[in-house]
Structure 1
């Protein structure tokens, strides 16, 4: 297993993000957004690869976007938002999401961020459980998803804390 940073438009990253979009669309009965353009402030796009008999297989992804100062709720801390955390359904429950989160935390700390924020939702109980188990705490609603009552918002201080 290896997590590598790749360009936003890397074919493996695009396919994984599209898979996540389809998954969320089915859960929330919302439109599918495919081939999402890179958001402003992208810090990192990571893909998790596992070794198989046929070579490397991309099974998960996660992105970091600099949102420092974008919302009052973030305060003055250098803030990065973790987005597009996704593991293919058939590979869940094997610790790959933990590996992705560990790598995003490492990258965020290495690049001088003080906290990570993220948005999840009530119809993603496995994700919410994962974030809470990793020390994320609830945060006041922010951004475009605050309009949806199914949205949940989290924050984790990461200064001197890579887990």
Structure 2
């Protein structure tokens, strides 16, 4: 699979939520992204922080697809997932390790999620990101996602930015 504007071959692999490479990539994502929101999060009282923790928790049983993107050397450099959220399919935990950025890995991941969404009969994919992740917002907009109202369970977090992409048949 070729991704992005730079010609590079990527291999997409379906894995379980608890695949050790997937777990490591999600941990790297948390390590990079969490500090961006620490100040915002600290401004909430304990009750609100507890509610937000619940809102953002991911139940592995709701995951319908978990994919990794591997580079030419076979190293997993990116992660993304689809989860069932009510009647919708939601994009979750899109992350590409810093050394692989700018070479089309995120495009490969998102393209595969869209293909899987269509395969599952989804009319659209939805996603939530935050206002302190301009690179993510830019990626989604470049890929044709459009801003939508903040949807549950993210409505308590004012930094949320939500998007959708209608999937063509």
Report TM bin, short chain.
0.7 to 0.9
Alignment of 1:1-163 (within 5 A): 1-29=10-38, 38-52=59-73, 56-69=74-87, 79-160=88-169
Deviation at 1:41, TM superposition (A): 2.2
- Residues paired across the two proteins, number: 145
For the aligned residue pairs, the C-alpha RMSD in angstroms reads 1.8
Runs of 4+ in structure 1 over 2 Å off: 36-41
Deviations 1:64-100 (A, max 9, x none): 001233xxxxxxxxx2000000000121111110000
TM-score (norm 2): 0.79
- Structure 1: which 5+ residue stretches go unaligned? 70-78
- Structure 2: which 5+ residue stretches go unaligned? 1-9, 43-52
Deviation at 1:38, TM superposition (A): 4.2
Deviation at 1:144, TM superposition (A): 2.9
Determine helix, strand or coil for the equivalent of 1:159. Answer: coil
Between the aligned partners of 2:66 and 2:152, the Cα distance in structure 1 is: 21
Q: Which structure features the higher share of helix residues? A: 2
Deviation at 1:39, TM superposition (A): 3.1
Deviation at 1:14, TM superposition (A): 0.6
